Structure 1
Amino acid sequence: MQIQERGEKASGFDVSRRGFVVTTLATGFAAATQPVSAQTIATDAKGLTAGEVKIPVKDGEIPAYRACPAEGGSFPTVLVVQEIFGVHEHIKDICRRFAKLGYYAVAPELYARQGDVSKFTDFRDIIGKVVSKVPDEQVMSDLDAAVAFAKESGKADTAKLGITGYCWGGRIVWLYAAHNPNLKAGVAWYGRLVGDPDELHPKSPIDVVDKIHAPILGLYGEEDTGIPVNSVEAMREALKRAGKTAEIVLYPKTPHAFFADYRPSYRKESAEDGWKRLLAWFKANGVA
């Protein structure tokens, strides 16, 4: 697929440079997350087809991690949306966890055009130099491309489509549920719900409640300093007023990134409960 010239458009968003900054996925864990905790979960690839793939998009191709059972086909499909750190080892491991349970899981690198965050050690650089420059419209388009890639693989049943995301990706789950009418269910882990709009990020999840197509489960921590409880409760009320099928769980004495087993923020009890709820939510809503 030919890369477009500077100034051309792909799926409505501006292609601001020739080619892509990120052409292969990060190896290991992002630098900003070091040192990695001893409690880090490591899921092997035995019995799986797992590894990096290239997903065609309108202006070229982006790298992604894909995992599914090695035998059989037509597996329920899960989009796994990265944390702020991109598709590093933790996100890859989550894909393998899904694959071990009989899912086709795919995690596209959604910062591919803007930059490689895996080498940054300062959160301010991650946000200021890369993440803040990633348009929501681009992300929606790339997730659609990941679904198309899964469908064309012959291994995925995209009629049984779910999405889950963490931190930065948790916000994306809500937005994608308002974007894709074919989504069956979503699970958002501690994704931001409100915020100040800008040109690249015109809407927050709370602004698109009326447009949400699929049942969404939100998993949040009561002691998340970046996502105040009042914003979680405001989202809960907005969903209720809109008559949406949704559930928000607020874990007491729990910080942000409580599912991130490789970081000090990990809370085993809340993480394991959230994972069980995720699997039950997917099963109850057609992603199984």
Structure 2
Amino acid sequence: MLKDEIDSLAPSRDFSRRSFVQTTVGSGFAAAVLPVTAQTITTDTAGLEAGTVTIPVGDFQMPAYRAAPAGKKNLPVVLVASEIFGVHEHIADVCRRFAKQGYLAIAPELFVRHGNAGAYTDIPKLISEVVGKASGAQVNGDLDAAVAWAAANGGDTSKLAITGFCWGGGTTWRYAAHNPRLTAAAAWYGPVARSYFKGDPTIIELAGSIKAPVLGLYGAADGGIPVETLTQLEAALKAAGNTKCEFVVYPDTPHAFYADYRPSYRKAAADDAWARCLAWFKKHGV
């Protein structure tokens, strides 16, 4: 996975107008992903309430990016779990994309206790010093707090989904095992046979606790997530009685194929997967 992350960040055309380091949640791009590509998608805020909010987690104040249709209440809720780079401009844009579809979308900054993920340029160092310190227990608790915040701020958490990318894809599976009230989930190229935090079980080991319908979106050419590990997870889910999960594996498609700001982006697969994600949520009542 680490090699695949580095490969997917190979040099690309500089989109100088947007090539700046993250300074606040959802603003700018993480240093490790610069320069971003000219194909980077930008979703406007017309008709939306969008920006940084603060979510209490006990005595800790967790920053998050949220986007929602302006003036609306009782909105279905989507939690958005970031890649290893934290909540930078791409993740904020994903929130705006969901908001344009009628959702209250929230991306909490799940690494902030351990450091500024957006400031790192060295990926192994980022993983060892920041990402690898965010335990499943901490992350699940932070996501629970985001759900509580949503319920108090215009969200209908009886219609609750989570989606996430890379590390956030694994987090999506992990949260599905944690929260029995989750309505649906969509995990984008999240590892299932290993964990970032030492001592956390793998997603395959957690399969028996996953009750929600999860859509897994993966690339067959993802060097860090062998297709056979997805087959193992699918078998473990079915053995545990969960027949509601589905996997879509795109042929000849790399890791991070939805990341339009990176050279790994594959438009055809990204567009198809986005449509499947939205349809999956609607199908399951979110």
TM-score (norm 1): 0.89
Equivalent position amino acid for 1:49 in 2: E
Aligned to 1:122: 122
1:92 is aligned to 2:96: no
- Cα distance in structure 1, aligned partners of 2:217 and 2:195: 22
Deviations 1:128-163 (A, max 9, x none): 11111111100000000000000011x111110000
Aligned to 1:207: 205
- Cα distance in structure 2, aligned partners of 1:236 and 1:184: 19
Aligned length in residues: 264
Aligned to 2:256: 257
Q: How far 1:235 sits from its partner (Å)?
A: 1.2
1:159 is aligned to 2:158: yes
Aligned to 1:16: none
Deviations 1:73-132 (A, max 9, x none): 111000000111000000000000000110000000000110101111111111111111
1:127-206 to structure 2, matched below 5 A, reads 127-153=127-153, 155-195=154-194, 199=198, 201-206=199-204
How well do the aligned residues superpose, as a CA RMSD in angstroms?
1.5
Aligned to 2:27: 27
Q: How far 1:230 sits from its partner (Å)?
A: 1.3
Deviations 1:16-74 (A, max 9, x none): xxxxxx99526301011011111111000010000000000013111000000002211
- Cα distance in structure 2, aligned partners of 1:132 and 1:176: 17
Contact 1:76-1:103 within 8 A present in 2 as well: yes
Aligned to 2:45: 45
Q: 5+ residue gaps in structure 1?
A: 1-21
Contact 1:167-1:189 within 8 A present in 2 as well: yes
SS in 1 for 2:130: helix
Equivalent position amino acid for 1:236 in 2: E
Q: How far 1:229 sits from its partner (Å)?
A: 1.4
- Cα distance in structure 1, aligned partners of 2:197 and 2:107: 26
SS in 1 for 2:106: strand
Moved over 4 A (4+): 196-199
TM-score (norm 2): 0.89
Deviations 1:167-187 (A, max 9, x none): 000001111011101100000
- Cα distance in structure 2, aligned partners of 1:126 and 1:248: 29
Contact 1:66-1:105 within 8 A present in 2 as well: yes
Contact 2:162-2:186 within 8 A present in 1 as well: yes
Contact 1:81-1:172 within 8 A present in 2 as well: yes
Equivalent position amino acid for 2:42 in 1: A
- Cα distance in structure 2, aligned partners of 1:97 and 1:196: 29
Contact 1:181-1:214 within 8 A present in 2 as well: yes
